[in-house]
Structure formats: structure tokens, C-alpha cells
Amino acid sequence: MLSLLFLVFAVVHLAIWVWGWGAWARNGRPRGLFLVLFGGTLLWYDNFRIGIGRFIGEGELLQAMTVPAFAWHWTMLPLLVIAAGSIAKQAGLGWAQPKAVMGTFCGVASILIALDVPYLFQIDLHLACVADTVRYTTQVSELQFCTPDAVVVDGVGSPLVAILTNVIVLGVGISLWIQRGWAWMALGSGAMFLAAGMGPPLFPQWSLPIANCGEIFITLGLVSSGVHFAHAAEAGERSGAIGAAVTEGRS
């Protein structure tokens, strides 16, 4: 049943992604929404390869399917930092307007990417199982053993980049909530923060599906925010253009 849940997650991510690109095309192709959607390109795939793992079974094919998911995560996740700053700017938040602020978002994202990129050259995959799921990963705990002779693997990678990215998005989301009355980025990133932080200590065996469920919330929060403020900006521009045309016609 857990495999089915991951396949459902994959479908949900794909639906959000397709909807987001459609909204992006209809609302002036905003930069922030583009970065969210581009950075989340393989979120559906990451859940799909976990959900389909039990049917493929261990071996080279499942290993090969795993590498793109880790590579994309380690290089694309910090794009959400730039996306959050861009959405804040489009929303008209005063603090987000100076070029130096956007430059800071880009600089922070670059540093975070640089922290994770070295892991691309250290990928060492090991078989892991949770309930009926079969997957390859870089870290294996006792709760993920597939066979009696399996061993714990500490692996490579650090949650620091994901945590900092989440915190920055949450901070921007709170600012949007306070200054613009738009709560969804804060709620989505807050749900992700709770899922990633409370899942392992409270429900260690189910921390993976809980965290992946959190990814749906933060993605939906970011995409909906990008769509909302892009639509508002487009509506404002159209209204301004109509007003200018009417004034010109009267003069």
C-alpha cells in the first residue's frame, strides 16, 4: 500500500506541475514561477521511482533510475530561494525591490548549490525497504533493512541545504502573509518544515512518506503564490493600459 501512496504523490506532483506551467504561460511568464516549476521538474519522478521499485526489484535498472533524482535534488533545490525572492518582488513587497536584495537571494542559492554539488561525485547507492517499497538511497537505517544481513549506511549528504532553503521560503511566506494577506507560501513551507523535522523523531519508520507529503505542500504553496501574484500583476497592467487608453481617447 505504501508503494501506491508514492505513486499517488507522483500523480499529484505532476498535476501541480502541469497546472503551474499552464498558469505561467497565461500570466506573463513570471520568473519566480518558472524557477519553482523548473526546480520541481523531477519531484513527480522521485516519487514514481520509489512507488514503482517493488515491481522492478533490486538491480541496475532501479539504480539507474535513482541517480537523476539525487542529482536533480542536489543541484536544483536552492532555486526555490531565488524563486521566493522573485515572488516577493512581484508581490510588491518593499524590502524585495532593491537589486541588492535579489542579488543576495541569488548569492545564497549559489552557495547552497555549491555545498551539495560535491555529493554528485560521491553517489554510492544501497538498497532500502520501507513496508512494501523497494528503492536505492545513499543512507540506510535499521528501519530500512531489506534483508537480515543488511548493514547501516551513513552515506553522504547533509540536510543543511534543504533546511536553510525551507527556512528562507518560510520567512518570505510569513512576510507575504503579514504584508499582503497571502498565507499559502507560509503554510506550505511550514508544513514541509514540520514534516521533515517531526517525522523522523516521532514516526521514524514513516519519515520518508511524511517528508514527501510535505514536499507536495511546499510545492503547492510556492506554485499557487507564483500564480496568484503573477495574475494580480497581469490584471494590474491590463487595468492600467485600459485606463490610459480611455484617458487618451477623452483628451
Q: What is the pLDDT of residues 194-207, one digit of tens each?
A: 999 988 888 888 99
Grid coordinates in use for 67?
A: 541517480
- Kindly tell me the number of DSSP H helices and DSSP E strands found in the chain: 10, 2
Residues in the chain: 251
Q: What distance in Å separates the CA atoms of residue 33 and residue 185, rounded to the nearest whole number?
A: 12
Q: Is 64 inside a domain boundary? A: no
Count of structural domains within the chain = 1
Say if 61 falls within a structural domain.
Answer: no
Residue 174 lies in a domain: yes
Residue 194 pLDDT = 96
Q: Pick the closest to residue 128 from 48, 60, 53, 70 (CA basis).
A: 53
C-alpha cell at 140: 540506510
* Residue ranges making up the domain that contains 31: 2-55+75-117+158-233
Q: Give residue 24's pLDDT band: very low, low, confident or very high (50, 70, 90).
A: very high
Q: Cα torsion at 196, 197, 202, 204 (round to 10°)?
A: 50
Residue 190 is predicted with a pLDDT of 98
- Contact present, 162 and 215 (Cβ < 8 Å): no
Closest by CA to 45, choosing from 22, 68, 78, is 68
Is residue 97 domain-resident? yes
Within a domain: 62: no
CB-neighbour burial class of residue 84 (10 A; exposed 0-12, middle 13-18, buried 19+): buried
**For the residues 99-105, what does the mean pLDDT come to?**
97
pLDDT above 90 covers what percent of the chain? 84
Q: Is 239 exposed, middle or buried (0-12, 13-18, 19+ CB in 10 A)?
A: exposed
- Tell me whether residue 147 is in a domain: no
Average pLDDT over every residue of 220-249:
72
- Tell me, what amino acid is at 41? T
Report pLDDT digits (tens) over 154-196: 887 789 999 999 999 999 999 999 999 999 999 999 999 999 9
Q: What is the pLDDT at residue 173? A: 98
39 in a domain, yes or no?
yes
129 within some domain: no
pLDDT band at residue 243 under the 50/70/90 scheme: very low
> What value does the mean pLDDT take over residues 53-65?
96
